[in-house]
Amino acid sequence: MAFVFLAGVKLLIQFYFWGMNRIEKLLELLQQMPDDNFLRHALALEYIKLGKDDDAKVLFESILKDSPEYVGSYYHLAKLLERINEKEKAIECYEKGMQQAKMVNDNHAFNELQAAYEDLVY
């Protein structure tokens, strides 16, 4: 798992320097590794930069359906839901993310999710 993550990081760094369109490169990599959460998450973030919230939302939801322990996607999906005025869904997403972060013992993710949740709710 760590090797796949490091390989993904290395590939992402490389295509920043290659000058290749990041979305095209991510899509190319996803053809080789369609279930790679790191690549799907990175693609969703690129879609957000372009204002393609629907595409990003589909990717984040797919990641969390397949791998609920991939806690980083909860934060970004919840922020997206906030932005498109789906407050109740954003609250649910933060709550699920905090629950998962506790389960995988990721205190950093838990704290970020909790802070964003509290900003939204209170």
pLDDT tens by residue, the chain, 122 residues: 455 555 666 666 665 544 458 999 999 999 999 999 999 999 999 999 999 999 999 999 999 999 999 999 999 999 999 999 999 999 999 999 999 999 999 999 999 999 999 999 99
Structural domain contains residue 62: no
Q: Count other Cβ atoms within 10 Å, centred on residue 85.
A: 8
Same domain, 90 and 122: yes
80 and 46 assigned to the same domain: no
pLDDT score recorded for residue 106: 97
Together in a domain, 46 and 72: no
**Does residue 55 lie within any of the structural domains?**
no
For residue 60, is it within any domain? Answer: no
* pLDDT, position 24: 92
User: Residue 121: which CATH number?
Assistant: 1.25.40.10
* Full domain range(s) for residue 84: 68-122
- Alpha carbon of 93 to those of 1, 32, 81, 97, 113: distances in Å? 25, 29, 9, 6, 9
